[in-house]
Structure 1
Amino acid sequence: MSLRPPDGDDRTAFVPVLLANLLPLPGVVWLEWEPTVLVFVYGLEVLLSLLLASVKALFAQRRPPSDRESGVLTLSDSRLAEKRGSVQPVAWLPPIFIRNVPFALVVLYVTPLYGLFFGLFLLAIADVGPELLSTSVLASVGALFVGQLVELDGQYRRRRQYERVSPYAAVETAARQVFVLIFVVGTLGVALGSTGMLVFVVGLKLLVEWAAHRTNRADDEPSRFIAWFAGPSEPDDSEASVRVPSAAPTGRVRPDRSAVVRNALFRAATRGVGYLPIAGLVWAPVVLSLAGLLESSPVVPLGVVALVVLIAAAVGVQVVVYFLVYGTLEYQRRGEHLVAYDWLVEEPQWSTRVEDLRDVTMANDRFTDRLLGTRTIQTTTRDEPERNRLLGPFADPGRAVDALELPLEAVALEPMDRRLAVGAATLVGVAILSIVVTTVAPGMPDAASTVAGLAAFVLVVIALGLWHQAFPDGE
């Protein structure tokens, strides 16, 4: 597939973005905006561009590169990024590739952090007042966002740019631009002051937009500096198809969907516990500072509600991602082959000869299997390189083994060490309780909250170690 964009003059494609970026400048000349207001406008527009990068990533058609650790964003451990197939919700939009979902999500995780940093930066360099939410300011932000939407529809969708980019390039490009902005603003912002930052932010925004435009032109070979701004180069996206025997399936079995969802919930909860102390250390000072700055008592309860909503959303996203990896598979026995077929995208994911399977055993380290009575089969396939595969969870493991004719006799699980499991749960409970008490208790000094957060982090680390040791396969 050619990497050259479609024929035609695309020089006018940059005009809407240029005009949208220059539109807020009259606010300084005629509306007598403070330079801080314009910095706020451009900073918020960068945040919106991150959200649009997440949308772009969903439709990118080139496969992501195998090396995803050399950029600003890393996404090296994601089973969903290996998923084959796509869905097309509506006919007038390109198909959405399931493998692109993790790349879109990583941007959504980064966006709140950028918003937090930029808000704290504005508080540091100037007195922030209600003028930031005036009609003229919000109209300028809207104009910038509309300019990006016009560019997205014209250059990305209509000119089919999505066919020439990978999801990693879509999000990495935006991340590099934001990284440069944050780095320079963080190091020079206070020293330059609001007026100096106004000149810098306007120049940097135009440079970044022009860099992205130049690299999309067919007749230009951009410099290394411009090319870095515009994102990573795209490798060859060729991919070998999955070889599936033509014989009809003699046996087929699907995982238990409710068990998949519950396992995803438990997995998200256990992973999220490790981040709670860090989240508490960040959340408490930010919310308390805002409460003091705004002199508003509802800030703290609203902050609690916002934190709960964010945690619930993060857990929900993890459940959906996990279900897309394991919950949409159907395992088929076709002749001498075991085939994993995804019924959602109607495409096989992998295939291997049963005689090439190694170490076919029951997974002993899955708590939800013990709780629900389900079973998950683990094995290693002789791919290049070898891959560890999980099959299930199955509500009737004996039937699954018989239907797939797997070389596995026993479906019982080895007993776990309940003492270590109870000890781990107790430590997590103590850690959560310490954070809650030091956060909501009146008159609690800031030092106590910091110490409680650090102690909770240590307790959670110890608890996770005990939990893994409680299972027969734990290390």
Structure 2
Amino acid sequence: MASPSNDSPAVFLATVAANVVPLVGVFHLGWSAQTFAVVYAMELVVAVPFAGVKALFARRPPNYDELERPQEGNPLKPDEWGGVSAGPSDLNRRRGNVTVVDPLPPIYPRNVPFVLRAFGAAVALVGMFLFVLSRFIDVPATLADPIVAASAVTLIVSHVGVINREYFRKRRHETSTPRDVIGSAKNEAGVAVVVLWFAAAGGPTGALVAFVAVKLLAEWRGYRGGQSSDPDEAAGTLPPVAAPDAAPTAEIRPDRRAVRAAALWRGATSAIGGGPAYLLAWVGLTGGSAGAVAATVICFGLLPAGLGGLKAVEYALTHGTLAYQRRDDAVVAYDDLTGAVQWATPVDDLRDAELCEGELVDRACDTRTFSLTPSAGEYDRSVAHLREYVRAVEAFELPVETTAFGPFDRRVAGAAAAAGACGVAAVAGVAYYAPSVAAVAAGFGGPFGVVALRSAWRWALPAA
């Protein structure tokens, strides 16, 4: 039921007819409503990560004025919580692209945070759809039905075909922004979740009616949007970088071990943040014919691994491929992956440079991260995970007061770590005797534990 482009009235009417047929079959021909309900749910879920894949190739940068800046000091700030990168981070503003396969257009690293958002939305959808549908449908058994399994394969093949035909061959990736690409799929799925909650009282038939209604609404909006869209609307721009065209007199790279450790740490905390969605998915699977062990592996193993893995990749791309150079009188960040200068700041324009005291990995690996504040500019620059930090301060003439970390309260950090370890051990022990209680504790206790540990870490840091 994945639809092609709705540019023409004939295609739009054919798509409408294809979505009305299941309703006619259920009400007049005795077809299985629960089968179609699960298939529609699969389509909504599959469409979101496929939109994320499309976003990788979107050539136009996002509109940075519409992106919400993360709030420093907020334990729930969007760039570190729930697997979602919402603010204009260094990676969002990354210049350049990489060609992975010759027949395909290049991939833009700056779009990776939007892929993470799409995958995080898909995980949330899986949890909510399974939770609601499991009240009247044995979802695992329905998914094992040959018709549904064939429909899943057809959905994937159809999405691949539509992307190739409508996105690549018609070169729509050249006029697309990553935010717009994932926006329509996320909005459609979000509306479907809200409608499904109210329509669930009607059982499988009510769920099917809700899905079809949302699908038709989305098709209508897509058709109207395709008729009136302005390709130049709401596109952000990346101003050119004025970097000195001279050979670097000094070059310092981030420590690879520190970058990997920080990426894994960011990935782990991001994965834990999706606990409620994993719990909903676990309830949905165990409410049917799926065993508790299999449901636990899928919901508390595979889903967090995918979410955390993407977050780790995002962080590694943000910091791990840069080289910080001194060219003439400027500090320059050069990206080895894309072969492009990312930013350049004259040394005389550095108003402030601050050592980031709160970097756990830097303390463990004896590296340093500095936040640079230019006199003119929208946001601070980050020079991250340097092992040769003394040399960097001298070569880049950074106006930092000290490169030494201040002492932190080991008692608070130790108590928080001990409490976290005891919590994990308690959940593991309870899981043997009461899997349901352990699942609830992991789903809600994990995110709460991350917030608590993050707050404890800030308390342990030296006062500014």
TM-score (norm 1): 0.81
Kindly name which structure, 1 or 2, has the bigger radius of gyration based on alpha carbons.
1
Tell me if 1:152 matches 2:163: yes
Match of 1:351 in 2: 344
- Name the residue aligned to 1:209: 219
CA RMSD for the aligned pairs? 3.5
Q: Secondary structure at the match of 2:344?
A: strand
Is 1:319 aligned with 2:312? yes
Aligned-residue offset at 1:269: 3.9
Q: Which one-letter code corresponds to 1:215 in the other structure?
A: G
Structure 1 contact 249–335 (Cα < 8 Å) conserved: yes
Counterpart for residue 296 of structure 2: 304
Contact 1:21 1:144 in 2 (8 A): no
Distance 1:321 1:420 in 2: 30
Does the 8 A contact of 1:20 with 1:144 survive in 2? no
Q: Equivalent residue for 1:266?
A: 265
1:390 counterpart = 2:382: yes
Mapped to 2, the partners of 1:43 and 1:285 lie a distance apart of 15
State the SS of the aligned residue for 1:124: coil
What is the percent sequence identity of the aligned residues? Answer: 33
Between stretches 33-42 and 10-19, larger displacement belongs to 10-19
2:358 is matched with which residue?
A: 365
Distance 1:353 1:282, change over 3 A: closer
Match of 2:246 in 1: 247
Selected match of 2:191 from 180, 184, 187: 180
Indicate conservation of the 8 Å contact 2:408/2:460, yes or no: yes
C-alpha deviation, 1:454, in angstroms = 6.5
For residues 36 and 237 of structure 2, what CA distance do their matches in structure 1 show? 45
Could you say which residue in structure 2 is the equivalent of 1:5?
Answer: none
Unaligned runs of 5+ residues in structure 1 are 1-8
- Does the alignment pair 1:63 with 2:74? no
Distance (Å, rounded) in 2 between the aligned partners of 1:267 and 1:198: 39
Contact 1:284 1:439 in 2 (8 A): no
Cα pair 2:252 2:388 within 8 Å, conserved: no
How far apart, in 2, do the equivalents of 1:107 and 1:89 lie? Answer: 21
Q: Distance in 2 between matches of 1:161 and 1:415?
A: 54
Confirm or deny that 1:415 pairs with 2:407. yes
| Distance in 2, Cα, partners of 1:14 & 1:313 | 35
Amino acid at match of 2:219: E
Greater shift in the superposed pair: 365-374 or 263-272: 263-272
Q: Secondary structure of 1:81's partner?
A: coil
1:17, distance to aligned residue in structure 2 (A): 5.5
Partner of 2:228: 221
Residues 9-50 of structure 1 show CA distances to partners (whole Å, capped at 9, x for unaligned) of 866765885686577679759985312211222221222211
SS of the aligned residue for 1:244 comes to coil
After superposition, the Cα gap between the structure-2 partners of 1:126 and 1:377, relative to the gap in structure 1 and judged at 3 Å, is closer
Aligned letter for 2:178?
Answer: P
Please give the alpha-carbon distance, in whole angstroms, between the structure 2 residues aligned to 1:309 and 1:440: 20
Change in Cα spacing, 1:397 to 1:440, as seen in structure 2 (3 Å) is same
Match of 1:119 in 2: 130
| Counterpart secondary structure, 2:228 | coil
The one of the two structures with greater contact order (alpha-carbon pairs below 8 A, sep at least 6) is 2
Match of 1:439 in 2: 431
When residues 437 and 456 of structure 1 are mapped into structure 2, their CA distance, relative to the original with a 3 A threshold, is farther
Aligned partner of 2:208 among 198, 209, 219 = 198
Q: CA deviation at 1:111?
A: 0.9
Q: Tell me, yes or no, if the aligned pair for 2:99 and 2:106 is still in contact at 8 Å.
A: yes
User: How far off is 1:357 after superposition?
Assistant: 1.0
Report the alpha carbon displacement of residue 105 of structure 1 after superposing the two structures with TM: 1.4
Native 8 Å contact 2:325 2:332 kept in 1:
yes
Name the CA shift for 1:132/1:332 in 2 (closer, same or farther; >3 Å).
closer
**Separation of aligned partners in 2, 1:36 and 1:109:** 26
Structure 1 residue 329 displacement after superposition: 0.9
CA shift, 1:261, in A, is 1.0
